[in-house]
Structure 1
Amino acid sequence: MVRQAFSPGDLLVAVPHLEDPNFRRSVVLLLHHDREGALGVVLNRPLGVDLGAVLPSWQDVVSEPATLFQGGPVGLDGALGVATLRAGTEPPAPVTRISPAFGLVDLDGDPDVLGGLLGLRVFAGHAGWGSGQLDAEVAAGDWYVVPALPSDAIAPDPAVLWRQVLRRQGGAMAIVSTFPDDPRLN
């Protein structure tokens, strides 16, 4: 079901005609949204950089593939850790809950105290929107807003996440999931 209202923990799924290379066929987990703006991470852009080369102490606690992901075009020199949380449990100390299923991880903390998480992914950079910008993009039809599943943030095959998320919505969105990358070749 496509929604106009959204909150942290929701997914923003790029419509097929969104051509910005930073967001083409992207699935963004919304981490923050208020009157000042919004912030999220692109879930389906693995960089192919082994996480151990950048944050060696976190290598053994991240979900497969154990690579760094490009969270978006903003702040590429910084990293965000996103955890998938178990329902009904309190997250460990270095994790701040942002929604029932997701939390932000303090990457300066101790990775050895992260027991009880369903998964963890590390993102270089993030997606950011100024005041009212994301609301305008959603209203213009650039993004589908859909509920996230905890498994979306740690999908083992991020290359198919865009199609999977759309397909599970059913109806017209399931049909959209079959749109070719380049309709001119159809």
Structure 2
Amino acid sequence: MFEIEPTIGIEAPPGTVWKYLIEIEDWWVPSNPEHESLAILSDDEELREGTRIRVREQIAGLPGVAVGEITEFRPPELITWEASNARYRYHGLHISVNEGVSWKLEPTGEGTNLTAYVWASFPETVFGSLIEWSFKNVLDGGRERLPTYEERNRVSQRNGRIRELNCGTRCVSATSVSY
């Protein structure tokens, strides 16, 4: 099982962070260079429990597609997305992975802590163990790397909405990060 749980402090109340968090098309792909594309597959106008989402990505150099759905949606505190059959390729071989992420918002005296609990479980085979090792050791010792200040600014320059939230109002500026 692969698990990480980074937390970032944000100088904004949970309601403000929540409004930004549910606009996943604006930030999910630009937030991580390993994410290639995202598509909402449901006809839902807003995120809710049951909304289906497809993510194309390259994790630890392995191309993959994860189709999952929002399994928990509790405004303004928690969103969970789970893909029970994400498919990755390694030198022409395919592997299915169960994976997901929960974004949890907790109010603090200075704003909000946003925690992303990310997990993946692999088949109990030699090949599954190899892929799990890649996830754990290629992803910075088992942790997906949070973007640096410079990377966030590059994203900000490409996406005016992220720039406004990250830089203009300081409502989504990092104050602390922990694992």
Instruction: State the TM-score bracket (shorter-chain normalisation).
Output: under 0.3
Q: As a proportion of its length, which structure holds more strand?
A: 2
